Structure 1
Amino acid sequence: MNTLEQLKQYTTVVADTGDFQSIKKYKPQDSTTNPSLILQAALQPTYQPLVEDAIRYAQKSGGDTKQKLREGLKKVFVNFGIEILKIVPGRVSTEVDARLSFRIYDTVSYAKGLIRMYEKEGIPRERVLIKVASTWEGIQAAQILEKEGIHTNLTLLFCLTQAIACADAGVTLISPFVGRILDWYKKEKGVDHIPAENDPGVHSVREIYHYYKKFGYPTEIMGASFRNKEEILALAGCDLLTISPKLLEELENADIPVQPQLTLEAARQSKMEKVSLDEMAFRWHLNENPMANEKLSEGIRRFSNDIRTLEKYLSEKI
């Protein structure tokens, strides 16, 4: 077996892309999208029918131009999600507008709107994960959604503090980022390379895995945002890993032996202690972690910028 096939023995592999051909090629269980990936795909001629359908939907919807644009944006996200679900047997992750990351009830409303669109097209909510940024407000919104049977994927997660709050809120899945943590530490240390065994992004996911498994949380852990295949292999055994097409190809073309690096036995033997977090403790611990604080803010800004770019593209056509 090649390295990708071996990895699939220990971890559920997810495709991190909006490109359907890549998803078909690598046959992942699930697929994830985000505003940046949807923007890249939406601008390609291949996917214009999905965009044009969203534009027609927006033009027929009620309200002013701003409302039409909001509905058109949601429809673009859902159209891509529907097509992805025709390929993967599992779930697709669709993201809430990042500009709502500090608004609990607006996030809830937006998420419900996405689910209504999916269900109108015959897609059951069980096949959709609503992606929400791991701010305090995003986590509270996710807790409300989960109680209403809408499953969530908490993204832009960079530290154990965020992960604990997500687990306590009963979210379905978290996406702890690996590569963006590595980026921050490389810049901070002024180095070009940090090996996988010392990679702070890898260590962060291991810490979260050990905490969840030691204390029996059912929330799934899906490592995300990888910079190289070594990071991925260092997390073999994680519940899920969402991987870009470029790295999926590298893994498929490799014959590196794969062994599980994360195990329930090791997690249960860890000496971690359970942590209790209220809002003040969450905000304090996040503030005390400059990497997590900076990368969370940066991620929200990046996704917001890409949404604005996609909105501009849609508005010209609407």
Structure 2
Amino acid sequence: MATSLDQLKGMTVVVADTGDFNSIEKYKPTDATTNPSLLLQAAKMPQYQDLVKEIVTSSASVEEAFDSLFVEFGSRILQIVPGRVSTEVDARLSYDVDAQVAKARKFIEMYEKRGISRDRILIKLSSTYEGIAACKILEAEGIHCNMTLIFSIAQAVLCGEAGATLISPFVGRILDWYVANTDKKTYEGHEDPGVQRVTQVYNYYKKHGYKTEVMGASFRNVGEIMALAGCDLLTINPKLLEPLSSSTETVTRYLSPEVAMQSDMPKLSYDEAQFREAIKSDKMANEKLYGGVDAFSSDAVKLEEQLKTMFEELKK
């Protein structure tokens, strides 16, 4: 009988949420996604020390090494997966439209110099108002964007209007907030607030004809994944890919365009002031969006410091 992972792949594009090449080869996802936190973990692994040193040695500055690390890992991942890789713009730029656009263009140029088409790259941007504005500019240039740190319907609506290729609602981080801030401490399957948010966004997009794809992310357990079977994409870390690959439990499809068309959500719109007010008034989304930017920024600093130390040692 087919494994749960293979069944899931039959209805959803499975994406590996890791920078570890070995894990990607093992679970054979269609796409892969990275971020500063994942690359920080990968860069500390013994098997990647020589590669990181090689990147630092060939770089003229720490900033160049930082960008080259992202593109090198992305390029190698693309030798393994048949689809796309997501490469994240430094979260410290999340409130600067021009800086995000410039960095995204630089990444695409670096990939294209390696002979890799921009169609295989998704530029990850934080879904701040400025990040979504940057997405609109980039998508108009044929640079595809994966909008991350999605917690609210307002973010999803604006990303869809901007023409984002992909959005990544963070299922587990939504669950974390509710566990920490309400009396209810356990949630099963479809009662999980993160699952409910992804389902809401998926149904909204399909109901109103948006081309933007939905990729559930940041899972805490297999139950969340199973409850979102049928979502356009799901990005899953190796710790959860393992039980899915060893299980033969039947996977039932819950999300589909046909079911979405039966939803009764009206079409929504937000200008900048309305968007900012919607985030501000949603305590969970407000805390998780801006806290997420801070966390990714912190890991970017740690990764940069690690590269700086190596850079100074190797340039002596």
Name the counterpart of 1:7: 8
* 1:213 equivalent in structure 2: 206
Q: What do the CA deviations read for 1:59-98 (whole angstroms, capped 9, x no partner)? A: 2xxxxxxxx2221100011111011000000000000000
Q: 1:53, 1:240 → 2: CA distance?
A: 34
* Paired position in structure 2 for 1:237: 230
In the alignment, which residue of structure 2 is the partner of 1:63?
A: none
- 1:67-216 pair list within 5 angstroms: 68-216=61-209
Report whether the alignment pairs 1:53 with 2:54: yes
- Once the two structures are superposed, residues 77-123 of structure 1 have per-residue CA deviations (whole angstroms, 9 ceiling, x without a partner) of 11110110000000000000000000000000011111111111111
Kept after mapping to 2: 8 A contact 1:142/1:152: yes
- Deviation at 1:46? 0.8
Alignment of 1:267 with 2:260, yes or no, is yes
Q: Is the 8 A contact 1:57 1:75 kept in 2?
A: no
Shift of 1:276: 1.3
Which whole-Å CA distance do the structure 1 matches of 2:210 and 2:184 have between them?
A: 36
Q: Distance in 2 between matches of 1:284 and 1:72?
A: 39
SS at match of 2:59: helix
Structure 2 CA distance for aligned equivalents of residues 70 and 183 of structure 1: 33
The letter of the residue matching 1:21 is N
CA distance in 2, matches of 1:182, 1:274: 26
The one-letter code of the counterpart of 1:55 is: V
Aligned letter for 2:56? Answer: I
State the partner residue of 1:309.
302
Aligned-residue RMSD, C-alpha? 0.9
Q: 2:54 & 2:86 partners in 1: Cα distance? A: 20
Q: Percent identity?
A: 55
1:258 correspondence with 2:259: no
Q: Which amino acid aligns with 2:34?
A: T
Letter in 1 for 2:6: E
| SS of aligned partner of 2:214 | strand
- Residue 248 of structure 2 aligns to which amino acid in structure 1? D
Moved over 3 A (4+): none
Deviation string, structure 1 residues 157-190 (Cα, Å, up to 9, x no partner): 1111100000000011000110000000001124
**What is the deviation of 1:3?**
0.7
Letter in 1 for 2:193: P
Equivalent AA in structure 1 for residue 187 of structure 2: I
* Structure 2, gaps ≥5 residues long: 312-316
Question: Paired residue for 1:290?
Answer: 283
Give the residue type in structure 2 aligned to 1:17: T
Aligned position for 1:62:
none
2:7 aligns to what SS in structure 1? helix
1:191, distance to aligned residue in structure 2 (A)? 4.2
SS at 1:131 equivalent = strand
TM-score w.r.t. length of structure 2 = 0.96
Match of 1:278 in 2: 271
Q: Give CA-to-partner distance per residue, 1:193-213, whole Å, 9 cap, x none.
A: 211221000000000011000
Q: Which residue of 2 aligns with 1:30?
A: 31
SS in 2 for 1:14: strand
Cα distance in 1 for residues equivalent to 2:199 and 2:218: 15
